[in-house]
A = this chain, B = another copy of it.
Amino acid sequence: MTTQMFEIVKNPISIEEITNKVIRNEAGAVTTFTGTVREFTYGKRTLSLEYQAYEKMAVKKLEQIGEEIKEKWSDAKVAITHRIGKLEISEIAVVIAVSTPHRKDAYAANEYAIERIKQVVPIWKKEIWESGEAWIGDQLEKTPYPEGKPMEVDQ
């Protein structure tokens, strides 16, 4: 069995499990990013979230981010798991783990991964408030693709 380094899952994510996928003898530094459901966004109280994904493409795009990182930081090893479905406040939506021999790269590559996820991975978030609900990214003030297409390389 090979370990899946890039996954979309429907059940709770274990930070330890994703981080362990990248721990190895050659790498002294591991950064793990955990994205959790925040209660307040710009003063508005979120009750819960629902994530939807175009799963097949989302996995492909996560793999692509992994390849982009390999090109920029050749010593990096990356694992990303994103959860979909309904999530409660402070539950984990995404875990990104990156190991590198030296720590500067582990931070930089990890931050690159979350920025790219927010640009190109087809996953959508619906916020559910007391007063209603809405798919995020649907708002006019958000124009994440100024070029008409998600950027395929780092801006």
Contacts and interface: CB of A to CB of B under 8 A. Distances in A.
A15 B16 CA distance: 6
A126 to B, nearest CB: 16
14 contacts: A23-B90, A24-B90, A25-B38, A25-B89, A28-B37, A28-B38, A29-B36, A30-B35, A30-B36, A32-B32, A33-B106, A33-B107, A35-B103, A103-B111
Interface in A26-65: 26-40
A38 B16 contact: no
A122 interface: no
Q: How large is the interface on A (under 10, 10 to 19, 20 to 34, 35 or more residues)?
A: 20 to 34
B103 A38 contact: no
Nearest to A108: B107
Contact of A32 (B25, B26, B34): B34
A36 B23 contact: yes
A110 interface: yes
A114 interface: yes
A48 to B, nearest CB: 12
Given A15-B19, A26-B39, A27-B38, A33 B103 contact: yes
Nearest to A16: B16
A114 B37 CA distance: 26
A142 B104 CA distance: 19
Given A23-B90, A25-B38, A28-B38, 5 more contacts: A25-B39, A28-B37, A31-B110, A32-B32, A32-B34
